């Protein structure tokens, strides 16, 4: 929940002027009031726009929610679902997130599905149990994962300056992929898994050789010029 017309226009201007790598897919996700302006301003072929939320019904008396059709009408073809702030602050359940994920996919919106553990869960040694539970809720209703990108975001590393080491991230991502393989089969190999814990321009390069870290879910650093450096780190 950041931004203004001016600041978001500046981000679009920066992205449009940058020489972005052709083999890196970028998805930017402004607050809902700025989605239309962001779609209209974007001139980069490798950049798409995502909503930060979408509802699991087509339309109706759901005041304040965002419909799939509204997103498609604007030219938005991605949604972020299951973000830790939605899970912890808004109290969205695994099942509700799964329902929203299925509805979005069934109706032509690709999904960045966020999973991850809190500090208490990390200290209790249940990181993989938490990730498995969150994934299993979606796997119970979604059989085709072609248009799902998983984002592992350790909640304890968001906005704290703390981050898992690149090897820690690789180990967790490898375990996530193995769990997916056990639940959704061979298609798990093609599911991109992003790391989302305080990634910035200074540490992004350290993840480059980690085979199961397919990219990043970038928070605060996406509001700064270093976002371009993060994108280029995937070359």
- Considering Cα of 5, then 27, then 55, then 108, what sign does the dihedral take? positive
Helix residue ranges, H only, the chain: 5-17, 35-41, 68-74, 84-88, 94-106, 119-123, 127-139, 166-184, 226-232
Q: Residue 73: in which H helix or E strand, if any?
A: helix 68-74
Neighbours of 110 (CB within 10 A): 16
Rounded to whole angstroms, how far apart are CA atoms 212 and 192? 8
Catalytic residue positions, numbered: 83, 153
Q: Which two tokens stand for residue 69?
A: 């059709």
């Amino acid at each position: 929940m950041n931004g203004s017309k001016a600041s978001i226009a500046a981000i679009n201007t920066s992205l449009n002027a940058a020489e972005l790598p052709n083999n890196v897919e970028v998805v930017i996700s402004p607050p809902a009031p700025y989605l239309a302006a962001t779609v209209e301003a974007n001139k980069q072929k490798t950049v798409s726009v995502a909503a930060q939320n979408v509802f699991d019904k087509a339309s109706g008396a759901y005041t304040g929610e965002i419909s799939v059709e509204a997103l498609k009408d604007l030219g938005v073809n991605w949604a972020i679902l299951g973000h830790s702030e939605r899970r912890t602050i808004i109290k969205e359940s695994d099942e509700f997130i799964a329902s929203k994920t299925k509805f979005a996919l069934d109706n032509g919106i690709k999904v960045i599905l966020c999973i991850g553990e809190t500090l208490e869960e990390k200290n209790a040694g249940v990181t993989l149990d938490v990730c498995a539970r969150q994934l299993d809720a979606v796997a119970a209703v979604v059989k085709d994962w072609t248009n799902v990108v998983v984002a592992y975001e350790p909640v304890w590393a968001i906005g704290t300056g703390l981050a898992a080491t690149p090897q820690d991230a690789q180990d967790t991502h490898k375990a996530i992929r193995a769990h997916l393989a056990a639940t959704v089969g061979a298609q798990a190999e093609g599911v991109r898994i992003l790391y989302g814990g305080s990634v910035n321009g200074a540490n992004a390069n350290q993840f480059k050789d980690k085979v199961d870290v397919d990219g990043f879910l970038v928070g605060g650093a996406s509001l700064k010029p270093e976002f371009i450096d993060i994108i280029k780190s995937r070359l």
